[in-house]
Structure 1
Amino acid sequence: MEQKKIIIIGAGVVGCSTAYYLNKMGQRNITVIEQGPLFETGGSTSHAPGLVFQLGFSKVLTTLANQTVETFKELSNKDQPSFYSVGSLEVANTEERLEDLKRKAGVGRSWGMEANILTPEECAQKNSLINPDEILGGLYVASDGIAKPLRAIDEMASFAESCGTKFYGHTEVTDIEVVDGQVKAVETSAGRFEVDLIICCAGFWGPRIGEMVGVTIPLQPIAHQYVFSNDLQELADETEEVTAPLIRDQDNAMYFRQVFNGIGIGSYQHRPLPVEVSEITKYGEAKEMPSVKQFTPEDFFEKPWQDAQKLIPGLKQAGVKRGINGIFSFTPDGMPLLGESQKVRGFWVAEAIWVTHSAGVGKQMAEWIINGAPTLDLELCDINRFDTYAQSPAYYKKRSIENYEKVYDVHHPFMPPETSRDMRVSPYYIRQKTLGAYFNEKSGWEQPQWYEANDWLVAKYEKTILKREGWAAEYWSPIIEAEQLHTRQHAGLYDGTAVKKRLEVRGEGALEFLQQLTTSNMDVPIGHVTSTLMLHELAGIKDEIKVIRTAASTFFVLCTGAVEASWIKKHLPVSSRIVIQDLTAGMCGLGVMGAKASEIMYSLDPQIFVRSEWEIGRAKEVFIGNVPVLAVYDSYAGTERWEFFTTSDQGLQLWDALFEAGREYQLIPVGDRALENLRIESLSLRNGKDFWSEHDPYEVGLDHMVDLNKQTFIGKKALIDRKEKGPKRLLTTLLLDDPSIVVMGYEPVFDEGKVAGFVTSAGYEYSIGKGMVYALLSPKSVNKESELSIEYFGQRYTAKIMTKSTAMTN
């Protein structure tokens, strides 16, 4: 393997984990630089209470936590364990929380984790400190526990040093040299280090390192309260640091762990306490370590302490020994910041990571650097996921603080953010507001979910509409279903501005560049539209994209988002004459779809939109009135669709022209939720929802987009190998037997009582009259066409694999 000169900045648990796994994979010539002492550096690792609750609604975070636990167990020895497997309890004080824990237990099974709902009495049996009268039940995860990161670091560092890695403590990074967009050297208080690759693992100091190379690291340090109780009578005989299960009381925004004879208590009840990076002291400049601020008792003792005593009555006699306000990093979306920056080649980031996910991140970072891709999909963690709007402190600081405030809330997948809104609006935003659009955010854009102006349609389709209840009815309106039904029968006008990134790839070599990047033949006539895939080096699907050839050496590319756009740009050779221009901000999109779509376009301009002159999968540059547009004709959701792209200054005029032309054909504005339902109903897949970079085209039924006769493309060799080995999962369509039930996504699917996979997308198929889902299942369950069941809030509902005959029969 190619040996690179690697500098890791930061010797906390993330930096040491990354060094450990790089060495395990054969990488050498690694240097770790730490501004504080080795290894109690003064960062978040040094004061972290070590609670590891692995299970969450995020598959990627759950997997990273699983890998961390496995690593820490491997690094344990009999006298100095790096992990105590004592289990955890998440308790519920409200019916809403208890229902959410049932949903979480189901998701645990989807992710391959065992989690069980317990009665209050059973919770007290697991941890006798709990007052069962204060709770309604709890979720028990036996494999959770307490991490001892400093012990793990000692083992990791010893192994790394045995492989030649050098560690420098009390060494400050003062500058980073970048030449022609590539890192070249790190200047430190101990001298200059030539580098090929830098990995920034500096924790909440990360933004300061990012500034040295002109890369924004959008995280907000926030102080968080943690106190230690005096000894409890109930724990008087304990000699081990921790034997009792951890406790998380999310209804009161608190967590608890045993610390020998006392209790450690963390609270999120207090007001946000943001800390500016410039205010954080260096090691040795404060009484305590840099990651610890002075305790603010007024934030703790008014309510949190009372709540803590109700749940654990033994605290009343014990009282509080001492408290700290420890600093942790929060991001706008609650996810870590990982990967190589698009702006500077060789500058990698592993930031905003808690101990819970630390070793898992180190493992994946090592795979990413050495193999070109991690085995786990990290799209949601990619440092490049934030467009320029989201790199402003005005955006990410407010959104990160909001994330802190809601960290223990019951999170609904359609719950809109409250802060940093109206960052991006389409040119027809004023029309959408007039029509009563209910907005959510999508890639920073204000995206209509449904329109109150369509409320009159509810009565029209009342006998057909499925009335949703409970969880499925939150952040929902029957208008969504009415828009879905009406579009199928007539036509809908939808805002496509936020749906995709819009890139122009042009110049000498553009065709060859796209041939290497995609799985299909890009050498098509001008005006042809090609739906194709991009694979990474391990043959996982990086994205499904649409490419329109607009000239001999010019291509219009529609990709999913900022991460996928950055991946395209990353593969552009340094000396290339190809220009990749991001047109997203200056261009808007509108679509007309439905049974009457072509009639509307013909009535608008019978000379341009003559159906005989258009074929499915064709694009032309035309005028609609005064507006120059790139018009694309294709099918979607089993019906005709026209998409139009123009410059933002012309967008409002385009909206008005299409809206007016559609009046006599009952054209309505359609929100994003109805569009999503139509997608599911039409068996169309979505990147990041139904498949991601862990899956290959054969597993998800997209192999028709692969041309193995092409001489080469990224991932081809690995794809052939994966094809020969056969799929690990198969994306399958299921129909729920009960016509009154819909699910939401990520629920476990059972085959004869055993977990066979999980739901990805979920909707309602009105032409059949049943709930419909896509599910990633084991090939065994798919091939024998089993009768399956889907667990939803602890209840199981029978489902069958949808076949062509099923659809035709209905």
Structure 2
Amino acid sequence: MTALPDRARVVVIGGGVIGCSVAYHLTQLGWTDVVLLEQGSLSCGTTWHAAGLVGQLRATEASTRLVQYSTELYSRLEAETGLGTGYRVCGGLTVARTPERMVALRRTAASAAAYDLECELLTAREARERYPLLRDDDLVGAIWLPGDGRANPTDLTQALAKGARMRGARILERVRVTDVLTVDGRAAGVRTSEGDIESEVVVNCAGQWAYAVGAMAGVSVPLHSAEHFYVVTDQIDGVHRDLPILRDPDGYTYVKEEVGGLLVGGFEPQAKPWVSPDRIPHPFEFSLLDEDWEHFEILMESAIHRLPVLAETGIRKFYNGPESFTPDNQFIIGEAPEVRGFFVAAGFNSVGIASAGGAGRALAEWIVEGGPTMDLIGADIRRFSPLSGNQAWLRDRVVEVLGLHYAVPWPNRELETGRPLRRSPVHEALVSQGALLGSRNHWERANVFSPRGVSPRLEYSWDRPSWVDWCVAEQVATREAVAVFDQTSFSKYLVAGPDAERVLQWLCTADVDVPIGRAVYTGWLNARGTYEADVTVTRVGPCEYLVVSSAATTDRDVDWLRRQAPPGCAVTVTDVTSALAVFGVMGPRSRDLLSRLSADDFGDEAFAFGTSREVRLGMATVRATRITYVGELGWELYVPADLAVGVYADLFRAGTDLGVVPAGYYAIEALRLEKGYRAFARELTTETGPVEAGLTFACKLRTGIDFLGRSAVEQARARGPRRRIVSFVVDDPAAYLWGGELVLRDGVPAGQVTSAAWGATLGTGVGLAILGDRATGTATLDWVREGSYEVDLAGSRFAVEVGLRPPFDPDGRKLSRGGSA
């Protein structure tokens, strides 16, 4: 073994394909003082027994781009390093047994067109022509992705490691990390079986051991191992090196060629979790678990049904190799909020080989640049709260998550395990009112309310589900009378101290030097001028602000606030999310309802839009903020948690004759889309800025006040946006959109739907989309206005009207006057 150095700029923990990719890309970016530590031999943990599938098309544009880069890298790595990767483009065939699956595949084909990726829809007969061993009499159809391929995981890992070594990285095997060293909240190095290494950056790429390595630094890395099975058969006539990868998701299985035979694996509906993530044995090098033919039976029977030749083929080897899965089936990447300089890339949920190249580059760029260079919001470690690290919760969740790997990807899917956990003070009242509950960041929330006597059951469908009628009633009540929304899950932070204003002026695009009792809508940007958060900021005192954000972004927002505050500022950030319930009272009769419970004046002159102050409401004192995310007159009430049950009951008691109804998040979604309001992580991402989003009005560009990202916004405004966020309305009310659909301009792919819903006010589908001219790389106003647009809905095209203004109340008269439009 090479002698252990005393220090390095970066220490990477884990010598699997991910760790070697991170080291490779760090050295490629010029950071050559890198040490990679592996407790056994390279690729000995999970990597060596990976199936090695490299499917390019993923659920989002960002994740698809990661894999597309991986394929480009794997194609050239042998020429660079002299070591083969086993990478071979053989194409991928995914078959559908049911009409519902075929709809999903047609949507997949449309996404491929949006990402400029070659994909072809096939009949069952055409599928068999590409895969002669296939039984096709019960298939509805298939898709063909000619760019899919496969790699040899161990060879790929060795090639990446050699590439890193060629640029100066040191890779040390048989060195086990026993502790992560920190000083004043920063990573400072590692303690190992062979001694200590000081470093500025520590990168946790420890695979199944990432949970335990994170715990050494006080960092939550929520993942849990599950047993994962496949078999390798004897050689089969007709099987050759270029046989396509076959996926039969309705049968839970995938198949690829392996030395003249077939590798048959899958994702069974009920997974088998392994040991707790802090108790994975050591050593566990190139090791497998015991065979479990009984558990594998459902996969094998399905594979034999699809490939009858397997019934007469011998099995050469049974593999039961555990690997880790995350709570939401997306991998984990990024800098941990608990410790600066401690980065994580782990939990790749059986797509580690496909993602390794792109993810390694993305994390290396994040380390070098000080922040992500692409949209990684869906994979960012900060999406998880510390609650997600609970081992009992993880064990339950991994069973469900792995089982959904090949399930029909229904829109609005709600996971069922580990619930309920966080509950609003009025949770029982919501249940008694018929709430159909969903979950966000562990909060139980009302998505929609069922009519009296109807069971609130979530129906999954590609077509218009029955609960849409319930949602329509809530939308109508909000537009015509008054609705009450329990929005307690909002993230809420108090930013206080002598420098609170200075910190928020730097972070916020809008001017927050406002009088006490004023609320401001604003974005938070990074240095590239793209979105990191979308919040409201209310000045509640001379040196104190209340910041309100979405339920899903609590840890991300607090981390951003603390890290981006200018050095030396006297400011504290306190998460008060659980201390305050939030009730949105929205609709043209909201003023009447509140006035029945309070002697305070809620009129336009006394309580203008954006006003926030404490009011008496029944027997409670609450903060009322006149603001809306549904485009109607309304107030958000911030209620101490111990008073929430009484206030909620008062609102319904006093509003019976006003037509008050409880309403949920599905209604909020539809109403905000009719009004063209953007949402973080969908329209507002780390790849879109205020110019693309049409939100420069929320930027203090006419002042001399600087803010993070200002220069980038000014440059984007000067050159014009590459893409724009636009509103659209579907011409045909029968077309039901969910989001993610391909948008065509004059018959040519031009973008994707980012959010969609059925809008009751407009009587049809409505949503937001991001569009751009691929030929010119621009999206001028004239280009947007002069086009003719359609959406591709699972292979059928529907005309849409696209506009740069909200379809509903475009002039904002309902907000400014507090009355009807």
| TM-score class normalised by the smaller sequence | over 0.9
In the alignment, which residue of structure 2 is the partner of 1:160?
164
5 Å-filtered alignment, 1:20-169, equals: 20-37=24-41, 39=42, 41-77=43-79, 80-169=84-173
Structure 1 342/710 Cα, relative in aligned 2: closer, same or farther at 3 Å? farther
2-side partners of 1:158 and 1:167: how far apart?
9
The answer to whether the 8 A contact 1:233-1:314 is kept is no
RMSD between superposed Cα atoms in Å: 2.4
The answer on 1:349 being equivalent to 2:344 is yes
CA distance in 1, matches of 2:429, 2:563: 38
Distance 1:402 1:470 in 2: 20
Where do residues 481-496 of structure 1 align in structure 2 (5 Å cutoff)? 481-496=472-487
Cα pair 2:450 2:467 within 8 Å, conserved: no
Change (3 A) 1:766 1:319: same
What TM-score, normalized by structure 1, do the two folds share? Answer: 0.93
Distance 1:508 1:303 in 2: 64
Change (3 A) 1:398 1:60: farther
* Range that drifts further, 307-316 or 399-408: 307-316
Once the two structures are superposed, what CA deviation does each residue of 1:232-279 show, in whole Å capped at 9, x if it has no partner? 1223xx4xxx31110011111010001131000003237422122455
Matched, 1:769 2:769: no
User: 1:325-474 residue pairs with structure 2 within 5 A?
Assistant: 325-353=320-348, 354-453=352-451, 471-474=462-465
- Counterpart of 2:327, as a letter, is P
Contact kept, 8 Å, 2:252 with 2:269, in 1: the verdict is no
Counterpart for residue 795 of structure 2: 794
Deviates more, 1:206-215 or 1:760-769: 760-769
The match for 1:734 among 728, 739, 749 is 728
Structure 1 residue 376 displacement after superposition: 1.9
Mapping 1:672-691, distance limit 5 Å: 672-691=665-684
Matched position secondary structure for 1:234: coil
1:410-463 deviations in Å (ceiling 9; x for gaps): 12222221111110111111111111111111221111122224689xxxxxxx
Rate the CA distance shift 1:270–1:488 in 2: closer, same or farther, 3 A.
Answer: closer
Instruction: Name structure 1 gaps, 5 residues minimum.
Output: 457-467
> What is the CA–CA distance in structure 1 between the aligned matches of 2:306 and 2:103, rounded to whole Å?
20
Cα distance, 1:471–1:751 mapped onto 2, change above 3 Å: same
What SS does the aligned partner of 2:355 have? helix
Aligned mate of 2:312, from 299, 308, 317: 317
| Cα distance in 2 between the residues matched to 1:367 and 1:592 | 45
Which residues of 2 match residues 237-316 of structure 1 at below 5 A?
Answer: 238=240, 242-269=241-268, 271-276=270-275, 277-283=277-283, 289-290=286-287, 292-300=288-296, 302-316=297-311
Between the aligned partners of 1:566 and 1:683, the Cα distance in structure 2 is 29
Contact 2:270 2:399 (C-alpha < 8 Å) held by counterparts: no
Answer yes or no: is the 8 Å Cα contact 1:785–1:801 preserved in 2.
no
Quick one: structure 1 residues 572 and 394, their matched pair in 2 at CA, closer, same or farther if it must change by over 3 Å?
A: farther
Q: Secondary structure at the match of 1:606?
A: coil
Deviations along 1:700-739, one digit per CA (max 9) or x if unpaired, are 1011111233442222233333333321211111222223
- AA paired with 2:662? P
Question: Which residue of 510, 530, 544 corresponds with 2:520?
Answer: 530
Q: Is the 8 A contact 2:496 2:545 kept in 1?
A: yes
Taking the aligned partners of 1:325 and 1:805, their CA distance within structure 2 comes to: 54
- The aligned counterpart of 1:749 is 743
Q: What CA distance in whole angstroms lies between the structure 2 residues aligned with 1:687 and 1:16?
A: 33
Q: Residues 727 and 206 of structure 1: is their aligned pair in 2 closer, same or farther, counting only changes over 3 Å?
A: same
1 CA distance for matches of 2:807 and 2:653? 40
CA distance in 1, matches of 2:24, 2:183: 29
Instruction: Give the aligned partner of residue 10 of structure 1.
Output: 14
What's the offset of the Cα at 1:808?
A: 8.8
Find the residue that maps to 1:508 and give its secondary structure: coil
2:176 — aligned with what?
172
Checking the alignment, whether the CA contact within 8 Å between 1:50 and 1:148 is kept in structure 2 is yes
Is the deviation greater in 438-447 or in 78-87? 78-87
For 1:173 and 1:475, locate their aligned partners in 2 and report how far apart those are by CA, in whole Å.
54
1:619 equivalent to 2:612? Answer: yes
Task: Compute the displacement of 1:5 (Å).
Answer: 1.2
What letter matches 1:289 in structure 2? F
CA contact (8 A) 1:34 1:170 kept: yes
Q: Which of these residues, 656, 660, 682, is aligned with residue 653 of structure 2?
A: 660
Moved more, 329-338 or 74-83: 74-83
Distance 1:807 1:344, change over 3 A: closer
Distance change (3 Å), C-alpha of 1:625 and 1:800: closer
Deviation larger for 735-744 or 536-545: 735-744
8 Å Cα contact 2:271-2:398 kept in structure 1: no
SS at match of 1:265: strand
In structure 1, the residue matched to 2:197 is 193
| 1: CA distance, partners of 2:616 / 2:674 | 32
Deviations for 1:714-770, whole angstroms, at most 9, x for unmatched residues?
Answer: 222333333333212111112222232231101001123321001111123444433
Secondary structure, aligned partner of 1:248:
strand
Matched residues in 2 for 1:216 and 1:635: separation? 35
Q: Using the TM superposition, name which of 786-795 and 757-766 deviates more.
A: 757-766
Q: What does residue 496 of structure 2 align with?
A: 506
Q: Secondary structure at the match of 1:538?
A: coil
- Check whether the contact 2:674–2:807 (CA below 8 A) recurs between aligned residues: no
Q: In 2, Cα distance between the equivalents of 1:533 and 1:79?
A: 47
Structure 1 residue 113 displacement after superposition: 2.1
1:459-488, CA deviations, whole angstroms, 9 ceiling, x for partnerless residues?
xxxxxxxxx995133473411111101210
Counterpart Cα distance in 2 of 1:95 and 1:597: 45
Counterpart amino acid of residue 348 in structure 1: F
Shift of 1:404: 1.0
Tell me how far apart the structure 2 counterparts of residues 737 and 478 of structure 1 sit (CA, whole Å).
Answer: 20
Say how many residue pairs are matched. Answer: 785
Q: Distance in 2 between matches of 1:363 and 1:762?
A: 32
Could you say if the C-alpha distance between residues 630 and 4 of structure 1 is closer, same or farther in structure 2, counting changes exceeding 3 Å?
A: farther
Find the residue that maps to 1:473 and give its secondary structure: coil
In structure 1, what is the equivalent of residue 186 of structure 2? Answer: 182
Q: Is the deviation greater in 677-686 or in 468-477?
A: 468-477
CA distance in 2, matches of 1:544, 1:278: 36
1:618-637 maps to which residues of 2 (within 5 A)?
618-637=611-630
Could you say if the C-alpha distance between residues 134 and 656 of structure 1 is closer, same or farther in structure 2, counting changes exceeding 3 Å? closer
CA distance, structure 2, for counterparts of residue 598 and residue 374 of structure 1:
44
User: Which of residues 711, 714, 723 in structure 1 aligns to 2:708?
Assistant: 714
More divergent stretch after superposition (579-588 vs 180-189): 180-189
Rounded to whole Å, the distance in 2 between the matches of 1:723 and 1:83 is 43
- State whether structure 2 residue 192 is matched by structure 1 residue 202: no
Shift of 1:337: 1.2
**Cα displacement string for residues 551-588 of structure 1 (whole angstroms, at most 9, x for unaligned residues):** 11100001232222322233246754311000011211
Q: Confirm or deny: 8 A CA contact 1:134 1:310 kept in the other structure.
A: no
Q: Deviations over 1:479-529 (max 9, x none)?
A: 11111012101010111112x210000012111111111112221111111
User: Aligned residue for 2:577?
Assistant: 584
Shift in Å, 1:200: 0.2
Distance 2:226 2:531 in 1: 36
In structure 2, the gaps of 5 or more residues are: 1-6, 773-778, 811-820
The one-letter amino acid of 1:504's match is L
Paired AA for residue 160 in structure 1: A
User: Match of 2:281, as an amino acid?
Assistant: T
Partner secondary structure for residue 738 of structure 1 = coil
